Amino acid sequence: MFNYSFRWNQALNSLPEMLQGALVTMEIAILSMVIGISIALLLTLFRLSRNRVLSSIAATWVEIARNTPALFQIYMVHFGLGGFGIHLSPYLSLLIGIAFNNAGYLTENFRGALKAIPETQTRAARSLGMTPIQAFKNVIMPQMLRISFLPMTNQMVWAILMTSLGAVVAMNTDLYGVTSELNARTFRTFEFFAIAAVIFYVITKVITLSARLLAARLFRY
Amino acid sequence: MRTALFTAGLLAATTLALPAQADKLDDIIASGVLRCAVVLDFPPMGSRDENNNPIGFDVDYCNDLAAALGVTAEVVETTFPERIPALMSGSVDVAVASTSDTLERAKTVGFSIPYYSFENAVVANEKVEMATWEDMKGKVVGATAGTYEAIWLEGKVKDWGEGEFRPYQTQADVFLALSQGQLDATVATVEVSEANVKSGNFPGIKIVDKAPMVPDYVALITLREEYGLINYMNLFINQQVRTGRYNELYKKWVGEEEPASLIVDGVYR
């Protein structure tokens, strides 16, 4: 039986600290998306290229990023590299871990989007005298980004939620880190985590709604 | 329609969440089982033997308490942060989990009198030049999230205004980070520090100094309003010391020296 009396005053007093943590969470998520998208574009090019080495780099990256837990990826960035004497701060470990995961998933999104674009467009662009790079940059990529825009916002939501995994690499300034530290000090577990959940919900909801509005604006035919 | 359903659900949930009237002490005796939350990655207080069975000071303490109550003990493994949710959600009756009795926590849970007391040591990576605990100033330090020593150390880092504090999730991660050199130093109980230096699982670490903290008195915890059970646990702890069982458990799990004193000079309780 759930036997607990809720007392909110302590938790509500700590709201400013938690909102500060939410800012750090957003910062990490945004940075990880910027890095993730850049790497994913690169990996997509690698995949398209005829070069065996490049395409297998892309394939390996996607396989590992998509088929192992994000928790493991972040842990390995911190403790795995740490074993080789490469010491990254908790912030960087978390950022790199999430960016790695983002890049893998986004590459796969881009692949799906590419499949939706008829092959003939490339040929048409090439027959107009564009080089392969130009054809990709001016014709294919804009459409690819448009098609994968909403999946990208999904990944952004994931990135926000994944920041809570930073706890395994001693991250204590993001929303989850701040919350769990307040919890350790006061033992008001349910109040603090309920508030954190609401903040997470609001952030992700705002992101998905504004992305939808943005998409409606940007991608009107 | 959906709103009505939602309201009905909320109402049902609220009714169910109302505190039960029966006393927990009676409930335990009636059910015949005492469920204890124990942290099992915290040797010598709690760990697992080679057959994966829970062992340690806290495990024996839970068994003793169950025997005193005339019921069987059930050890439920939790991490340090999970102790309270386990208690609040009713999946355990008490936590025998080396819980430091801070005043801030006492606003939320009910503490017994102390049943053990820890002293803390400063442990550093061998490559770091350190002679006293004060040399931690300006260094990258860390401890197990949510513990007494972590709260103390983070406070120190804030006071110093330089250096960095990192709370890892488990004691093992703290020592891994220390051994890799990601942390310059940590503060951990003398018992854990000595065990980890001796075990050789974490090469390249050394004990530097004692941490100048008030001894970390730890107590049994249960829900704040369960006075009957708290009263019982207080007497139980007193009897453990009186009958020599405390000494016996100390010898078995910690060492040959005098067991840590549970008396604070110059004050009652």
Q: Which of A3, A83, A186 minimises the CB distance to B180?
A: A83
Residue to test with chain A: of B93, B180, B221, B222, most A Cβ within 10 A:
B180
- Residue-level pLDDT at A49: 87
Q: Which residue of B has its CA nearest to A87?
A: B182
CB-CB under 8 Å, B223 with A3: yes
Q: SS3 of A192, please?
A: helix
User: What domains does chain B contain, in order, with CATH numbers?
Assistant: 21-118+216-253 (3.40.190.10), 120-210 (3.40.190.10)
Contacts of B80 in chain A (CB under 8 A): 184
* Least CB–CB distance from B169: residue in A168, A186, A189: A168
pLDDT at A101: 97
| Shortest Cα distance, chain A CAs vs residue B18, angstroms | 7
Q: In order of start, what are the domains of chain A with their CATH numbers?
A: 13-218 (1.10.3720.10)
The token pair at B46 is 């709690």
Distance of alpha carbon B160 from alpha carbon B157, whole angstroms: 5
Q: What is the pLDDT of residue B84?
A: 84
pLDDT tens digits along A149-201: 999 999 999 999 999 999 999 999 999 999 988 988 888 888 999 999 999 99
Per-10-residue mean pLDDT for chain B, 269 residues long?
A: 61 55 88 95 87 94 97 93 86 94 89 94 93 93 90 93 92 92 94 86 91 92 94 96 95 87 84
Q: What is the CB neighbour count within 10 angstroms for residue B53?
A: 9
The Cα–Cα gap between A136 and A115 comes to 14
* Orientation of helix A15-48 relative to helix A52-67, angle to 10°: 150
Beta-carbon separation of A2 and B89 below 8 A: yes
Select the residue of A4, A5, A87 nearest B182 (Cβ to Cβ).
A87
Q: Which residues of A touch B17 (CB under 8 A)?
A: 2, 4
Is residue A187 less than 8 Å (CB to CB) from chain B? Answer: yes
Query: CA-CA distance, A164 to A29, in Å (whole number)?
Result: 11
pLDDT tens digits along A195-221: 999 999 999 999 999 999 998 888 876
Show the 3-state SS of chain B. Answer: CHHHHHHHHHHHHHHHHCCCCCCHHHHHHHHCEEEEEEECCECCCEEECCCCCEECHHHHHHHHHHHHHCCEEEEEEECCCCHHHHHHCCCCCEEEEEEECCHHHHCCEEEEEEEEEECEEEEEECCCCCCCHHHHCCCEEEEECCCHHHHHHHHHHHHHCCCEEEEECCHHHHHHHHHHCCCCEEEEEHHHHHHHHHHCCCCCEEEEEECCCCCEEEEEEEECCCHHHHHHHHHHHHHHHHCCHHHHHHHHHCCCCCCCCCCCCCCCC
